[in-house]
Amino acid sequence: MPDALDTPDAPAALAVSRRIGPELVELRRRLHRIPELGLHLPDTQALVLESLDGLDVEVTLGESLSSVVAVLRGRAPVSGDRPVVLLRGDMDALPVTEEVDVDYVSQRPGLMHACGHDLHVAGLVGAARILHELRDELVGDVVLMFQPAEEGPGGAEPMIREGLLDAAGRRVDAAYAVHVYAADHPYGTWFGRPGTLMAAADEVMIRVHGLGGHGAAPERTRDPVPVACEIVLAFQTAVTRQFSVWDPVVLTVGRIAAGTVNNVIPDDAHIEASLRTFSPEHRAKAHEVVTRVAQGVAAAHGLTAEVSIGNGYPVTVNDVDEQAFAQGVVVDLFGAERWTDMVDPEAGSEDMSFVLEEVPGAYLNVSACVHPDHRDAEDNHSPRAAFDDAIVPDVAAALAEMALRRTRELARTD
């Protein structure tokens, strides 16, 4: 495979990333041993701060979560406004017991970096170090976003509330993030798409309220059990009959619960569903349809249904121009043979979507698959998900190069 580093005009970011690569891999392995969940990641935060120590950056710690925002200022002269680019790495792990046989295996039973966010942290630290070394060439400022709680309950939104997008003293112009994959593509393949990349995911909770009684005399009750079953089936009809197939809706009932024993009709039945949509329009419409169908089916049988739909992460949308730019950086650094267009969006969701709702940007994926055949590899979130951290220096170089080039372009067009 040709390597951009072998060419005389290889980007400096790539050269620095290769040199500091072993230290970034070591950092990833230290992070991998100490996975933490959710909004509060004190050990991870401490390791990030230790890794940024000695760099000339302005650090702000989160108040309601253990985020780290570091602003790195370029030293190249700029006439006019200083461009600002945001680079993001999420930091949290999952409640999974690791079954990967490596010497840096998780030291915390029941917790694992099963989505590879440890590689994201190491990659973003690497980008910081590259940009710091090259800051005489950096035209503008870079906001480094170390984010907790991507896996829930969501860290991007509180970070935005705490001032993330204005951390450099001026609004962020463009934002980039990279996610690693344990499967799906051969190692080293980058992939993405313009426009819709990932779904919005909302949690639907329904209580079907009836009137319990003796199983021998249903006519004296209002039995919620068959009504709950009808609601589940009616959802599937609603999805296929009320929404265009070209803007899909995925509605999965993952839990249905009612009653105690066979001969007692319960008062209530409970339905819990996951609703995934790929456009704000269908998301709003799906909320209406789910509520109307549940309440309407219940009413038809003389019962009531209480529906609550929690707003999860919005649709993740890559700006068309920013995606083309980020893809161009990857192709320049690693060669066109390492890029693959994603035909379809994914039904997963991501809270980088909150950042991309506010500023244009791009979210790319890269395979860190360790298996010789990626079709045999287990997916992210599996207790056997394994990531090849040789990819970390590439992630660092790509993020740093995006910041270097985009700030330069923005300064030129200002």
Q: Cα dihedral angle (344, 364, 42, 132), rounded to 10 degrees?
A: -170
Nearer to Zn ion, 131 or 362 (CB): 362
Report in angstroms how near the CB of residue 378 gets to Zn ion at its nearest. 15
Which sign, positive or negative, has the C-alpha torsion 265, 268, 273, 279? positive
Q: By C-alpha distance, which of 204, 211, 230, 234 is closest to 307?
A: 204
Q: By C-alpha distance, which of 38, 156, 33 is closest to 94?
A: 38
Task: Please give the span between the terminal C-alpha atoms of the chain, in angstroms, as a whole number.
Answer: 38
Report in angstroms how near the CB of residue 301 gets to Zn ion at its nearest. 42
- By Cβ distance, which residue is nearest to Zn ion? 115
Build a one-symbol-per-residue string for 99-128: x at contacts with Zn ion by CB under 5 A, - elsewhere. ----------------x-------------
- Per CB under 5 A, contacts with Zn ion among 296-325 are none
CA R_g for the chain? 24
Report in angstroms how near the CB of residue 22 gets to Zn ion at its nearest. 25
Nearer to Zn ion, 179 or 222 (CB): 179
Please give the structure tokens belonging to residue 174: 């463009």
Nearer to Zn ion, 115 or 258 (CB): 115
β-sheet bridge partners, residue 272: 205, 255
Nearer to Zn ion, 122 or 309 (CB): 122
The number of residues that bind Zn ion (CB under 5 A) is: 1
Is 364 a binder of Zn ion (CB under 5 A)? no
Report in angstroms how near the CB of residue 114 gets to Zn ion at its nearest. 9
Q: By C-alpha distance, which of 277, 283, 265 is closest to 221?
A: 265
Nearer to Zn ion, 369 or 411 (CB): 369
3-state secondary structure of 193: coil
3-state secondary structure of 17: helix
Report in angstroms how near the CB of residue 96 gets to Zn ion at its nearest. 12
Nearer to Zn ion, 295 or 367 (CB): 367
Report in angstroms how near the CB of residue 94 gets to Zn ion at its nearest. 9
- 213 burial via Cβ count (<10 Å: 0-12, 13-18, 19+): middle
Residues that bind Zn ion (CB under 5 A): 115
